[in-house]
Structures are given as structure tokens and as C-alpha cells.
Amino acid sequence: MKNVDHLLAGRSASNGADFVRAIFAEARKPGVISLSGGLPNPRFFPVEALIASTAKVMRSHGTEILQYGTSDGFLPLREWIAGRYKQQGIDVSPDMVVLMSGSLQGLDITGRIFLEPGDEVVIEAPMFLGAIQTLANYQPRFVPVPMGDEGIDTDALARTLQSHPNAKLIEVNPSAQNPSGVTYSAGVRAQFAAAVKNHQALIVEDDPYAELRFDGTRPISLRRELGDRVIGLGSFSKIISPGMRVGWVVAAREVAARFTLGKQMVDSHASNFASATIWQFIQDNDIDAHIAGINAIYTIQRDAMLAACKKYFPPDVRYTHPQGGMFVWVTMPEGADALTLFRDAVATEKVAVVPGAPFYTDGVGGKTQFRMSFSTVEPAMIDEGVQRLARAMLRHLDGA
Amino acid sequence: MKNVDHLLAGRSASNGADFVRAIFAEARKPGVISLSGGLPNPRFFPVEALIASTAKVMRSHGTEILQYGTSDGFLPLREWIAGRYKQQGIDVSPDMVVLMSGSLQGLDITGRIFLEPGDEVVIEAPMFLGAIQTLANYQPRFVPVPMGDEGIDTDALARTLQSHPNAKLIEVNPSAQNPSGVTYSAGVRAQFAAAVKNHQALIVEDDPYAELRFDGTRPISLRRELGDRVIGLGSFSKIISPGMRVGWVVAAREVAARFTLGKQMVDSHASNFASATIWQFIQDNDIDAHIAGINAIYTIQRDAMLAACKKYFPPDVRYTHPQGGMFVWVTMPEGADALTLFRDAVATEKVAVVPGAPFYTDGVGGKTQFRMSFSTVEPAMIDEGVQRLARAMLRHLDGA
């Protein structure tokens, strides 16, 4: 094969995905306790119930499901999603919902619809690295705003929006953020709404973890405050199955129509086979009880991770206390280097995390930080993993 | 909702998709015989066999299928696809295959990897309108080369490539093309290979209809002649089900790796739930017998359409004689206007086709042409539909 590099588009330049893949490859080595994943716990995959759902919905809707469908996706599932927003007191109709092959595709099509190279996109810092990579394809200028303990720094956001009047999008992950685990408090949500009020930008509320809630009540979508200013991205990946690849966008009717057109052009429509099976599963099973079961176990695992952090980490190491989701975000003292720690921890202690740098777009943030996930690890292994990590960290901080 | 048009990217400008949707809306009106669709015949959807396949593969691979997977897709199915190429005498390994959410997504990611605005893409004229829309997102300059009765005009192709040395891609649909129904002959395939030999461009062989073959032997992929110069796009949509949304790309290892990365960034990976079900279906059923069953019926329907064209069309109306696929392509005499005919045919005769203009990128081609599909229409209705159409056509040609 002759080299094709000279034929590549500018957006095909390396974007850090290889680095992240190398980290995950390390984490999969035998004997390594991986706190690096971001996977749902497979014990909650409802294998038998989904088999039954497929059989039932194929017998009632088989010809429709297996044929080409409309690009907005399987209507009964869109109706259910609209109803789910209504439970939060938010008026959403099915023609405002477009099914996606996972919520990440919603973000990709957002970029496709709105972004020219050089356009400004305000993001949280840190931010989910997969979202950074997906948006980076559209070659925007990222404008990061720091996250605090209760959500995005709304003072910094207000200043940033004043100095960037042409920003097109504000991409946020307000509920149990990946990677920080932080959920915007009610106060931050109100200040956020005030800060964005007079700016032109659309808000992209990337919310795949919204249903994973351990303390207090489920956070309410920004759409309740901000209405059609918000493009909401949701997913069944964290509550039913990511391998089925079904998520959604909820947006103003006119904007939803653009997502439908975008979906038509990238892959016609979401898999009706998967969408219809999910819909039937929700009809025949108590989805709230299913989610409560996931949250009960994740709460135990979250508690085990926080207890282990308290027990083993030096006192000057800070970490978040997530109210939901899958992640704890750790900040070591100035001078520490999470990548060096990662390499030593994998090699000598056989425990893996994700170093913080790929969650920032500025090339400097996250040096002292890393992400740990508790979603797929049993409490005893969480304790053991954090203990191993703390040993490597103590050596590293002594030497730093 | 305030208007968001000022926030849109240039690629979001109108691209004719609305026009095409309006045509399909007309075709769906009650009482209309639609020859406009491009849908597989639902009588061949193997509903019960797929139910059994889902149950079986979920019980053996459930945890793997429902979890996040690798971005190249479900390995057993990639192995089967590689084997299918080996049956044609073409050496393909599973790491050269990346599963897509339908073959159209393979074309979209091709554009994402290679195309900058203004880059030249050589295409067939006419060409599948969905492919035109998908590539148009990347704002290339289309360089059309006419189709003849046995495939692309290879003399014109050779001249075009000489005068366009920087063209990056050559997009072709060599087997039972949508919309013309034309299959490249063995001679055209050889001349095609000679014409592209010293040019830099990669060949995109968009081949979803390859298995739908009525006369003679199955055409062999251009990859046999051209090897890693070819990016092949394939699909299960025409032989099992389009609603499952599973297709593939086959390409040189280094290029396949770029598709894997592209897939990771747009939607993580194809639905493993759908991919694994298709794989199990193929394991437990005779796919060649299944395809032969489809081809037997499509042959009868194709014959019915050609017989009706012969019986009812005026002698100066030409039409293709497809050896496979779903379509017959009709060319009326100079001065005819297919869009006017379409409107009259729907309104007065209640029969719908697809006017030819959207299958061209130059704004002038296709005026006298239209596409008819025989895939979902029973022979008696094909005869009736073509007869109705001929009545409208005779009136139109008399008046033209």
C-alpha cells in the first residue's frame, strides 16, 4: 500500500486518541486492577429480558423494524423519551426528539450542523476526552471554563461569554460529569442560566449520567430553565446497554429537524432493531426499579472508593465526592505528575487510572490530576486498588 | 425559539434533501402505485430466524454484546466478511474490515478522513442521490463522468483523471448501480483499472447491491484488480435488513485503522446487538440460499418491469436492462421534462417514480430521466404502474 497521508483532510491529524488507547491497553494487562474504565457494570445488563423484548416487538412490529425507517427514529421510543422529560416538568414532544447511535453521535452531529473551523466552543475544564475528540474534528477553538466543586465556575463563565460574544456553543455535562464526578448544584444551575441569558450561544447539555444518582433527588435538565436554548443529549448506554448504541437528542423543533437531516446524511437512522427492543424492554419492565438497582450498587462502590481515598491518600491530595455517575477525580499537590505516577503505578503496583491531561484542551491542565472509576470494580478490589495506588503516589510525591 | 440560522455551518445549507423528501411524500399518498422507493422487499425479512439468532447469541455472548465494544466492531462478523471476500479470490483479513451503521456511514467517514472543502471527487453521472448528499457535506468539487450501458465511460474517465491530477477520490457503484441499474462489464472493469492506474486517487467502491444478481455470475469486487487502492463499502441492508443498520468498510490495514478511529469519534462503534444477531443468523441459516430466494423474486419483478416498458413505452424512450439490484433507469427524448411528468403522473394517474435531476450534481443532467424500482412491487402492479406512467408520458411527450 502506498502511503495515503498526503490525501488526508486536516481534521484527520492526530488528536490524542492513540495516547488514550495506549493507556487503556496498559489497564487491560493481566493482574492489573483497572480503575481506568468508564464502563457500565455488566451485572446489570438485562440479557434475558432483552431477549424476550426482541421476540415480542419483532412479532408485533417486525416488518417495520427491519425496514428502512424515518431518520428521526422509532416513534414509540421517542414518545417514551418525551414522556420522561414531562416527568421532570419539562414539555417535550416526540418531534423534538431524534434517536442517535449513542449520545456521542448527538455531539458529532451538533458539530456538523453548527461548527466551522475556528468557531468558538465554550467547554468545561476538565471535560470528557471523547467529547473533546469528537468536537475537535470540526476544528473549533475551545474556550475552557474551570469546574468547581458544585459545577462550572459561573463567574468565570460570565466573564468568558462577555469576552467571547461570538461563541456558538456551550458544551456542558452538568450531572455527574465525566471525568470530575461533579453535579451542578441548584445554585450553580440558576447562576448558569443567568450567565448565558444574553448570549447567542446554544447550550449543549450532554447528560448521559443524569439517571445515575446516589444522593438527593435527580437533577433537573437545564431545559427547564433555558428551554429551546438547550440541545440535550441523552443515552440508554448507562442504564440499559451501551453495546446497543441508542441515545437521543432533544431540541427545539426546528433544530431537531436539522438533526434528523444530519442523521439522514451520516447513517440514515438509528438501528430500529435496537431501538424497538429497548422500547419493548421499558414497556415490560420497571425501568425505575432497574435504575434504582444500579444506583444501589454504584452507591456502595462509590462509598468504598471514597473510604479508601480517605484511608490511604495523603492529606494534601484532594478528590471529588460524586453524588452520581461513575467517577472520582483526584488532584495531587503542585509539582506532581499524573503521567509519571500512572506509569509507575501500572508497572510496580499493577493498578491503572486515567491521567488528567487528555481531559483538557490547553495542553497544560490536568498534570497533577487523574480519574478513577468505581462502576465495574467490587468494593474489596476498590480498596486494594486505591491502596496500591496510594503506595505509588506516596513514592511519587516524596520524589516530586 | 429564536432563529438559529446565523449559527449554522456552511455545510448545513440546503442540499436538495427536502425536494427528495417531498417526492417520497407524494409517492406515499393513498392509491398511488409507488415505483419510487429503493426499499428491500419486506417479504424476505427473516423475522423468526432473527428472533432465534438474538436469543442464541445473547446467551453465548450477552455480556460482550451489551457492553461497549471496540470501534472496529464485532469480530466474528468481521471474520465472516473477510471470508466472503476470500470466496471471490480476494485476500482480506478481519483487521481490514470495520463495521459501519450501514454502508452510507462508510461513505460519510470516507469524506471525514479525506475531504477538505474544494477537494475534487470523481463520481459517476448519474449517481445515488444519498451518496451525493453525504459527500456534499464535505463541500468537495464533484467531477462527474457519464455512465454508459456497460458501466462508467472509461475513455471519459481517463481524460478526466488526466485533467484532474489532484482528485482525491473516485466514487463508483459498479454493481447494479443506484439509480441506473447498470453493472460494469468485465471489459469496463479492466479498462477502469487501466484508467486509474497512474492516478493518486483512492477508489471508493460503493457496492451494496453486489449480491443482488439475476443474470450471469456475481460481479467481482474492483479490489481483485486494484487491491489496496480500493475502499470497499458493503451492507447487510439489501440481503438481511436495513433497519438493523449494519454495513462495513474494507480497506488497506492503515486506511481501515483510520476508519476505526473515525468510527470511535462519531459514535463509538456499530451496534453489537445488531451485528452479533446478523452473525448468528448467518451461522445458523444458509445465507446463499436466502439471497438466491431474493434474487429469484426480484428477477420475476425485473422481467415484469422490462416487459411492461416494452409493451407500453413509446419506441423512442430508452431504459436500462439491469442484471441485478432494484432499479430501471428511463431516458425520454430530448425536450421531455421528468419533473413535469412526475407531477402529472402522481396527480392524474396515481403512479410515482423519482425524477432524474437529484442524481446529478451539475444542475442540468437528468432532466429527461427518471428512476423506477421493482423491488417491492408485485408483477401485476408493476404492469399496471408502468401502463399508467406510459399514459402520462404519452400526453407529456405529445405536448413537449
Specify the DSSP class assigned to residue A347. I
Environment class of residue B213 by beta-carbon count within 10 Å: exposed (0-12), middle (13-18) or buried (19+)? buried
Helix (H) or strand (E) holding A373: strand A369-373
The pLDDT of residue B400: 59
Give chain A positions within 8 Å (CB) of B101. Answer: 101, 245, 267, 271
Of A54, A113, A272, the CB nearest to B243: A272
Determine which of B2, B4, B43 to mutate to test the interface with A (most A C-beta atoms within 10 Å).
B4
| Contacts with B11 from chain A: Cβ below 8 Å | 112
Angle, helices B75-87 vs B272-284, to 10°: value is: 50
Contact B266, A108 (CB under 8 A): yes
Measured between beta carbons, the chain B residues lying within 8 angstroms of A54 are: 51, 54-55
Rounded to the nearest 5°, which phi and psi values hold at B392?
-65, -40
Chain A: residue nearest B247 by CA?
A267
The secondary structure of B25-92 as a DSSP string is HHHTSTT-EE----PPPGGG--HHHHHHHHHHHHHHHHHHHHS---TT--HHHHHHHHHHHHHTT---
Q: What kind and span of H or E run contains A356?
A: none
Closest Cα in chain A, distance from residue B390 (Å): 29
Q: How many CB pairs under 8 A join A and B?
A: 236
Task: Give the nearest partner residue to A66 out of B8, B116, B243, using CB atoms.
Answer: B243
Q: Please tell me the predicted confidence (pLDDT) of residue A101.
A: 98
Q: Report chain A residues whose CB lies below 8 A from the CB of B264.
A: 17, 133
Distance to chain B for A385, nearest Cα, Å: 23
- B242/A65 touch (CB, cutoff 8 Å), yes or no: no
Burial class (CB within 10 angstroms; exposed 0-12, middle 13-18, buried 19+) of B346? buried
Please tell me the predicted confidence (pLDDT) of residue A21.
Answer: 77
Looking at the predicted structure, is the pLDDT value of residue B16 above 70?
no
Measured in Å, how far apart are chain B's first and last C-alpha atoms?
A: 47
For residue B39, with 0-12 CB atoms within 10 Å meaning exposed, 13-18 middle and 19 or more buried, which class applies?
Answer: middle
Nearest CB to B101 within list A133, A264, A271: A271
Q: What's residue A295's pLDDT? A: 98
Do residues B154 and B188 touch, judged by C-beta distance below 8 A?
A: yes
C-beta atoms of A104 and B59 within 8 A:
no
- Over residues B119-135, the mean pLDDT reads 97
Cβ-based neighbours of B229, under 8 Å, separated by 6 or more: B196, B202, B203
pLDDT of residue B15: 62
Do residue A273 and residue B244 have CB atoms under 8 angstroms apart?
Answer: yes
Nearest to B206 by CA among B185, B181, B177, B184: B177
Are residues B176 and B213 in contact, defined by beta-carbon separation less than 8 angstroms?
Answer: yes
- Is the per-residue pLDDT at B306 higher than 80? yes
Please report where in the chains the cell 480500493 appears, as a residue: B230
User: Amino acid identity, residue A150?
Assistant: E
Please tell me the predicted confidence (pLDDT) of residue B341.
Answer: 97
Distance CA(B372)–CA(A378), nearest Å, equals 60
CB contact under 8 Å between B273 and A274, yes or no, is yes
Classify B108 as helix, strand or coil.
helix
Judged by CB atoms closer than 8 Å, whether chains meet at B42 and A66 is answered as yes
Cα B397 to chain centroid distance, Å, stands at: 30
Of all residues in chain A, the one with the smallest CA distance to B262 is A12
What integer is the mean pLDDT of A167-176?
98
> At residue B188, does pLDDT exceed 90?
yes
B2 pLDDT band, cuts 50/70/90, is low
Nearby residues of A284 by Cβ (< 8 Å), 6 or more positions away: A49, A52, A53, A56
* Chain B nearest CA to A117, separation (Å): 9
Q: Which residues of B touch A55 (CB under 8 A)?
A: 51, 54-55
Residue A273 makes CB contacts below 8 A (sequence gap 6+) with A54, A65, A66, B241, B243, B244, B245, B271, B273, B274, B277
Q: Give B134's contacts in chain A (Cβ within 8 Å).
A: 265-266
pLDDT band at A29 (very low <50, low <70, confident <90, very high): confident
Please give the helix or strand (H or E) that residue A240 lies within, else none: none
**Testing the interface with B: which of A4, A91, A202, A204 to mutate, by most B Cβ within 10 A?**
A4
Query: Is the Cβ pair B68, A264 closer than 8 Å?
Result: no
Q: Are strands B230-235 and B247-250 parallel, antiparallel or unpaired?
A: antiparallel
Mean pLDDT of A262-278: 97
| Whether the Cβ atoms of residue A274 and residue B271 lie closer than 8 Å to each other | yes
Tell if the CB–CB gap between A273 and B47 is shorter than 8 Å.
no
Mean pLDDT of the region A78-85:
98
Q: What letter represents residue B256's amino acid?
A: A
Closest in A66, A242, A255 to B47, CB measured: A66
Give the model confidence (pLDDT) of B74-111 as tens digits: 999 999 999 999 999 999 999 999 999 999 999 999 99
Cβ <8 Å between B202 and A261: no
Give the integer Cα–Cα distance in Å for A376 and B45: 38
A103: phi then psi, degrees, rounded to nearest 5: -70, -25
| Whether A389 contacts A381, CB under 8 Å | no
Which among A12, A108, A245 is the nearest to B113, CB-wise? A12
Q: Which residues fall within 8 angstroms of residue B311, CB to CB, at 6 or more apart? A: B383, B386, B387
Of residues B9, B39, B101, nearest to A101 (C-beta): B101
pLDDT category of residue A125 using cuts at 50, 70 and 90: very high
Q: Is residue A95 within 8 Å of residue B227, measured between CB atoms? A: no
Residue B239: pLDDT over 90:
yes
pLDDT of B1 strictly over 70: no
- More confident position, B186 or A218: B186
Closest CA–CA distance from residue B92 to any residue of chain A (Å)? 14
Decide if pLDDT at A22 tops 90: no
Q: What pLDDT is stored for residue A27 in this prediction?
A: 81
Over residues B291-308, the mean pLDDT reads: 98
pLDDT > 90? residue B287: yes
Q: Which among A34, A48, A68, A113 is the top mutation candidate for probing chain B, defined by the most B β-carbons within 10 Å of its own β-carbon?
A: A68
* Chain B residue at shortest CA distance from A8: B114
What is the pLDDT at residue B14? Answer: 65
Given an 8 Å threshold on Cβ–Cβ distance, is B104 in contact with A274? no
Mean residue pLDDT across chain A: 95
Q: Are residues A272 and A64 in contact, defined by beta-carbon separation less than 8 angstroms?
A: yes
Contacts of B50 in chain A (CB under 8 A): 58, 66
Distance from the Cα of A387 to chain B's closest Cα (Å) equals 28
Could you tell me the pLDDT band of residue A16, with boundaries at 50, 70 and 90? low
Shortest distance between the Cα of A218 and any Cα of chain B, in A, equals: 25
Q: Where are the beta strands (DSSP E) in A254-368?
A: 318-319, 327-331, 351-352, 354-355
Q: Is residue B19 pLDDT above 80, yes or no?
A: no
- Look at residue A13 in the predicted model and tell me its pLDDT: 75
Residue A33 forms beta bridges with which residues?
A351
Question: What global pTM score does this model have?
Answer: 0.97
Tens of pLDDT along A362-386? 999 999 999 999 999 999 999 999 9
Q: Which of B14, B28, B240, B268 to mutate to test the interface with A (most CBs of A within 10 A)?
A: B268
Q: Is the Cβ pair A17, B272 closer than 8 Å?
A: no
Cβ separation of B1 and A39 shorter than 8 Å? no
Query: In the structure, what pLDDT confidence band is assigned to residue B132 with cuts at 50, 70 and 90?
Result: very high
Determine, for residues B273 and A244 on separate chains, whether the beta-carbon distance falls below 8 Å: yes
d(CA A151, CA A186): 10
Contact B168, B204 (CB under 8 A): no
Asked if B262 contacts B112 with a C-beta cutoff of 8 angstroms, the reply is: yes
Name the minimum distance, in Å, from the CA of A318 to any CA of chain B: 30
- Residue in A11, A55, A241 nearest the CB of B112: A11
Residue A169, min C-alpha distance to chain B (Å): 9
Residue A235, classified by CB atoms within 10 Å of its CB into exposed (0-12), middle (13-18) or buried (19+), is: buried
For A101, the closest chain B residue by CA position comes to B267
Per-residue pLDDT at A167 exceeds 80: yes
Contact at 8 Å (CB) between A299 and A214?
A: yes
Q: Look at B105 and A274 and tell me if their CB atoms are within 8 Å.
A: no
Q: Which three cell numbers mark A381?
A: 478490589
Number of H helices, E strands in chain A: 13, 14
Q: Mind listing the pLDDT tens digit for each residue in B341-369? A: 999 999 999 999 999 999 999 999 999 99
Which pLDDT score, from 0 to 100, does residue A217 have? 86
Average pLDDT in the B116-127 region? 97
Contact A50 B63 (CB under 8 A): no
Contacts of B63 in chain A (CB under 8 A): 42, 45, 47
> Which of chain A's residues have a Cβ under 8 Å away from the Cβ of B272?
243-245
Search chain B and give the residue with CA nearest A267.
B105
Confidence (pLDDT) at B86:
96
Q: Which residue type occupies B243?
A: G
Is A50–B39 a contact, with Cβ atoms under 8 angstroms apart? no
Residue A216 has pLDDT above 90, yes or no: no
Mean pLDDT of B178-182: 98
Residue of B nearest to A53 (CA): B51
Q: pLDDT tens-digit profile of A279-327?
A: 999 999 999 999 999 999 999 999 999 999 999 999 999 999 999 999 9
